[in-house]
Chains A and B, each alone.
Chain A
Amino acid sequence: MKTIILPVVFLLMPFSTAFASEGAPNIGETLPLYSVIPFAGMLLSIALFPLLAPKFWHHHFGKVSAFWAIVITIPLLIAYKGAALYEVLHIVLADYIPFIILLGSLYTVSGGILLKGTIKGTPIVNTIMLAIGTALASWMGTTGAAMLLIRPFLRANANRKNRSFMVVFFIFLVANIGGSLTPLGDPPLFLGFLRGVPFFWTFNLLPHMLVAAGILLIMYFILDTYFYKKEAVSAPAPANQSTKEPIRLEGSLNFLFLLGIIGAVLMSGMAHWGEVSILGVHRGLQDVVRDGLLILMAALSMFFTQTRVREDNAFTWFPIQEVAILFIGIFLTMIPCLKILQAGAKGELAFIISAVREPVHYFWITGLLSAFLDNAPTYLTFLSTAMGGLYTGAPESEAIALLIKENPLYLMAISAGAVFFGAVTYIGNAPNFMVRSIAEEAGTPMPSFFGYMIKFSLPILILVFIIITLIFFR
C-alpha cells in the first residue's frame, strides 16, 4: 500500500507548497499552470480508458473520477482555504447539482415515453424519423430524444443489411446537432444558461442548425436510397400483414411533465425572486425552486408511468449514474482551469487567450476539443476564455451580458462548436456512447472509435463545419 501512497504524496507536495506560498484572494491569478493537470487527466481518462482498457474503465470509472477530484481538491483547500472552499461549494451547488437534476429529470421523463408499432425503414421514413429526432432534441435533450427514438429506429431497420451508417447519422443529428436550440438540448448550453445566457438566446443558432441538419439529412437520404435499392434484391419478404402493429405512443402523459420541465427552466430564466444562501453560496430563489420542480416532474413521471413502459424502453438508472459520477470529477477538476481563464491576461493561460481571438477560432478550437473531450466543460472553458479576453476582471454575469450585447458571434461560435463537434467522436457527447451501446446490443455492427471518425465524421462532418464557417463565422 505504501508503494502506492508515497509517490502520490510526493507528487502532491510541491503542488500544495506552491499554493501555500501564494494564496491571493483571486485564485485564478495565482494558480500555477500545472493545476490544470487533474482536469486534463480527467478528460484524457474519459477519452482513453474506454479505448485502451474498456473493462477496467467500466468497473472503476468512479474511482478514477474520485482520484482526479481528490488530487485537485485537497491541495486547493490546503493552499487557498476559504476561497477554495467557496469555489468548490459554488461549482457543486450552482453548477453540478442543477446540471445533474436537469439531465436526470429529462432522462427520467423521456424514458417514460415509448414509441411502439411496426415501422418499415424506408429512406423516406428513416429521414423523417431523423428529422423528428433532430427537432425533438432541443426540447427533451439529446439524450432524451436519442433514447426515445433509437430502439424504434433500429427495429424499423432490423431487416436492412447496411445499418451502421444509419446509426452514425442518428448520432450526428439526434444525439448532437438537434440539441443546439435551447439550454435543454445539450449540457453545455444549460451550463451557459446557468451562468446567465437567456433561454431563448440559443435560438440564434437556428440558421446554423438548419444548415447543418439540412445538409446531413439530404446526404442521409441519398445514401439510404442507394443502399435501399441495392439491398432490395436480397431483402426478405415483407412481414405478414397480420403481425403489423399500429404506431402508437405509450406514456404520453410524460409530454406534460416535459412541458413542466421546460416551464420550470423558463421560469428560472425570467423570474427574480431574490437570493438564498446555501452553505455560503448565494443562489437565486427561482433556481432553487426550478430544481425542486424538475425533481417533482421526474418523481411524477416515475409514479404515473407504467413500469412496463420503462421496461420496454430498457430504462435503467445506470447511464445517468455514470454521468453523475463522472461529472463530479469533471466539475471539481475544472475549477483551476476556469479560474485561470477568467483571470485573462493575468492568468497562466494568457497564451491561449491571446491565441484565440476571432469567432472562427472559437468555433474550431471549442469544437475540436469538444470532439475529444466532453463538450460541457469545453464550452465553459472557452466561454471563460472569451470573457477573460474581452472583459477581463468583470464579474461573470456582467461579462456574459456584455458578450451577448457586444460580441454575440463569439458566443454563437462557442455554442455551435461545443454542440456540433460533439458528434465527431463517440466520446464527444454522452448520448453518443449510449446510442452505440444500444445499437451494438441490438446486433447492429458499429464502427470502431477510429473507424467512426475516418469513415464518417471526418469526411462528412468536417465538410459541413467548413460550410458553416464560410457562411456564419468567416
Chain B
Amino acid sequence: MKIERLLFPTKFGEVDLNSLESLSVLKDAGLKEVILFYVIPREEVGFVPYGGYLKQEEERIREEVRIRFEDWQKSLSAKGINSRIIIEVGEPVPNILKIAEKEKVNLIVVGKKKKVAHDGPFVGSNTLQIITRSKIPTLVSKYLVQFEHEGESVTRTNDAIFKRPLLATDWSEPSERALELLISLNGLIEKAFVCHVIGVKISKSIDKTELHRIEKESKERLEKYCERLKFAGIAAEPHLGAGRTIMEIIRISRDVKASMIIMGTTGKDRLHDFFLGSVSHRAAGMSELPTLLVP
C-alpha cells in the first residue's frame, strides 16, 4: 500500500492551499500525482424553477475554478508533483467517491481545512458520508483547528501531520492495512505510536484474571506492531489504554503529542452507522488531529 495518487477535492476554503502544500511531503513517500477536484453543486446551475439549466453560469464557474487550480498547480509543480484538474457538475459525496474509484487514487483528502468554531464535531455531514462509504484510505484534513482543552481555547495548525502519527488498532484487518500504510510513509515519520484501548464493555463484562490475560495479550500484540514498524526503520512506541475508547485515543494522542491519528475502519450495518457511527468515524469527528482512515 503506497500513496502514489491523491484526490484533493476542494471548495477553495481559506487554508485549503496550505493544507495541500502540507501534503507535498508525500512526494518523498512516493506521491506522483495530485488530482485537484471541484464539484459544481447541481443546484447552483441546474433545475432553475421552470427555467432549465444555467449553462453560462456553469461555464463561468468552470473558468474561475480552472484559473484558481492552475495557480495551485504552479505550487505543486515547484515541488515536483504532477497534477491534473477535474471539474464536474453534480453532488459532492457521490462525485468524489466515483472519481476516486475511476482515477484509482490511493488517498482522498476531505474535510474542512479550517475549523475554528466550537460548535460541533470536526467533520461535517458530507465528510462523514465520504469516510463512511469510501473504500479508499481517506484523510480528514484539519489544517487549522480551534478547540477546548482543559478549559482553554487552543488554536492548532496541523502542518506536519506525518511526523508523529498515532496508529489506533483494534487488531482488525483494516488496522493491519493501516499499519502497512503507515510503513509506506517511512521517510516522513519521526516517531510513530501504536495504541490499543481495552474498552469499557470488555472490562465490565469479565473477571480480573481474564482482564489481566487480555492486557498481557494486548501488550504483546502492540509490541509486535512496533517491531514491524522498527523493522521498516520507524521508531515506534506502544501505548495501552482502558476505558471509553474514543476518549482514550484522544487522551493518548495528546499525551504523546501525536500529529495525526491513523485507524482502520470497518463497515458497520446501516442501522448501527445511522445511530452510532463507528469508533473511527467518531474519532475523526472528535479529535482535533487529522485522521487517516483505512478501510
Separation in Å of the B58 CB from the closest CB of chain A? 8
Assuming the A-B contacts A58-B54, A440-B55, are A314 and B90 also in contact, with contact meaning beta carbons closer than 8 angstroms in the complex?
yes
Contact A57 B48 (CB under 8 A): yes
Docked Cα-Cα span, A57 to B49, in Å, equals 8
Docked Cα-Cα span, A319 to B42, in Å, equals 11
B210 within 8 A of A: no
Contact B48 A441 (CB under 8 A): no
Contact with B along A427-450 (1 / 0, CB 8 A): 100101110111011000010000
Contacting residue for B91 out of A311, A436, A440, CB 8 A: A311
Separation in Å of the B9 CB from the closest CB of chain A? 16
Assuming the A-B contacts A311-B91, A314-B91, are A54 and B42 also in contact, with contact meaning beta carbons closer than 8 angstroms in the complex?
no
- Interface-central residue, B43, B45, B47, B91, by most chain A CB under 10 Å: B47
Assuming the A-B contacts A55-B57, A311-B94, are A433 and B51 also in contact, with contact meaning beta carbons closer than 8 angstroms in the complex?
yes
Docked Cα-Cα span, A469 to B89, in Å, equals 44
Assuming the A-B contacts A311-B94, A316-B91, are A58 and B52 also in contact, with contact meaning beta carbons closer than 8 angstroms in the complex?
no
Contacting residue for B42 out of A318, A326, A430, CB 8 A: A318
Question: For residues 50 through 109 of chain A, which have their beta carbon under 8 Å from a beta carbon of chain B?
Answer: 50-51, 54-55, 57-58, 61
For chain B, the bracket of interface size reads 20 to 34
Separation in Å of the A215 CB from the closest CB of chain B? 26
B72 within 8 A of A: no
B243 within 8 A of A: no
Docked Cα-Cα span, A169 to B68, in Å, equals 41
Contact with A along B19-43 (1 / 0, CB 8 A): 0000000000000000000000011
Docked Cα-Cα span, A152 to B50, in Å, equals 22
Contact A437 B50 (CB under 8 A): no
Contact A58 B42 (CB under 8 A): no
B46 within 8 A of A: yes
Contacting residue for B52 out of A311, A314, A433, CB 8 A: A433
Contacts of B133 in A (CB 8 A): 307
Contact B89 A441 (CB under 8 A): yes
A322 within 8 A of B: yes
A37 within 8 A of B: no
Contact A54 B51 (CB under 8 A): yes
Contacts of B43 in A (CB 8 A): 316, 318
Separation in Å of the A321 CB from the closest CB of chain B? 9
Docked Cα-Cα span, A105 to B57, in Å, equals 31
Contact B52 A319 (CB under 8 A): no
Contact B49 A61 (CB under 8 A): yes
Docked Cα-Cα span, A58 to B46, in Å, equals 9
Contacting residue for B54 out of A49, A54, A314, CB 8 A: A54
Contacts of A421 in B (CB 8 A): none
- Interface-central residue, B42, B48, B51, B53, by most chain A CB under 10 Å: B51
Q: Residue of B at shortest CB range from A312?
A: B94
A46 within 8 A of B: yes
Contacting residue for A322 out of B47, B52, B94, CB 8 A: B47
Sample 29 A-B pairs with CB under 8 A, ordered by A number: A49-B51, A50-B48, A50-B49, A50-B52, A55-B57, A57-B48, A57-B51, A58-B54, A61-B49, A308-B94, A311-B91, A314-B90, A316-B42, A316-B43, A316-B47, A318-B47, A322-B49, A326-B49, A430-B50, A433-B47, A433-B51, A433-B52, A437-B46, A437-B48, A438-B46, A440-B55, A441-B45, A441-B46, A441-B53
Q: Which 8 A-B pairs have the closest CB atoms?
A: A50-B51, A440-B53, A311-B94, A436-B52, A437-B53, A427-B50, A322-B49, A58-B48
B interface vs A, CB < 8 Å? 42-43, 45-55, 57, 89-91, 93-94, 133
Beyond known contacts A430-B50, A437-B46: 9 more, CB 8 A cutoff: A58-B48, A308-B94, A314-B42, A314-B90, A318-B43, A326-B49, A427-B50, A438-B46, A441-B42
